[in-house]
Amino acid sequence: MAEENNPAEENPDDIMDDWAAALAEQETVAPTPEAEAQPANIFQSFDTNATPAGAPNNIDMILDIPVALTVELGRTKIAIRNLLQLAQGSVVELDGLAGEPMDVLVNGCLIAQGEVVVVNEKFGIRLTDIITPAERIRRLHK
């Protein structure tokens, strides 16, 4: 019967000899002058005025991307027991106050606040305060 080479039974000295041979081989290869470290010049500078040829100079190409717009009246936490007892006509108390501005969120990020209005028998929101980009960033770090 032929003897199989089982790595688990390999002699630790043989492994060390293989490593020593590999390191010795690496040391014999002398670095060439071209192998010296050189600065990488493969990156383009990010000039804000430079645009790729054929690229539009505005945001027209993203104007048709849909986003989720949400108007939040308020929030609450409720126990599952109470949730299961809800029926038609039940009232759930929210943390928002009557007459308080409603939050307007785009993809979950607050962008404005406004007041609820009724237009042609449909609810809408009149924006009363637009959140500045600086304020949005500040709120993210809270």
Alpha carbons 121 and 56: distance in angstroms, whole number: 41
Is there a contact between 110 and 102 (Cβ–Cβ < 8 Å)? Answer: no
Q: Is residue 90 part of a domain?
A: yes
Q: Is residue 54 part of a domain?
A: no
Question: Residue 131: which CATH number?
Answer: 2.30.330.10
Number of domains within the chain = 1
The model's pLDDT over 11-45, given as tens digits with 9 standing for 90+, comes to: 666 666 777 777 777 666 555 555 566 666 666 66
Q: Is residue 70 part of a domain?
A: yes
Pairing of strands 69-72, 122-130: unpaired
**DSSP characters over 62-104:** GTT----EEEE-------HHHHHT--TT-----SSPTTPPEEE
The model's pLDDT over 58-115, given as tens digits with 9 standing for 90+, comes to: 778 888 899 999 998 888 999 999 999 999 999 998 888 888 889 999 988 889 999 9
For residue 89, give its domain range: 66-140
3-state secondary structure of 43: coil
Q: Is residue 37 part of a domain?
A: no
Q: What are phi and psi of 34, to 5 degrees?
A: -70, -20
Q: Is residue 4 part of a domain?
A: no
Q: Is residue 32 part of a domain?
A: no
Q: Is residue 111 part of a domain?
A: yes
Q: Is residue 10 part of a domain?
A: no
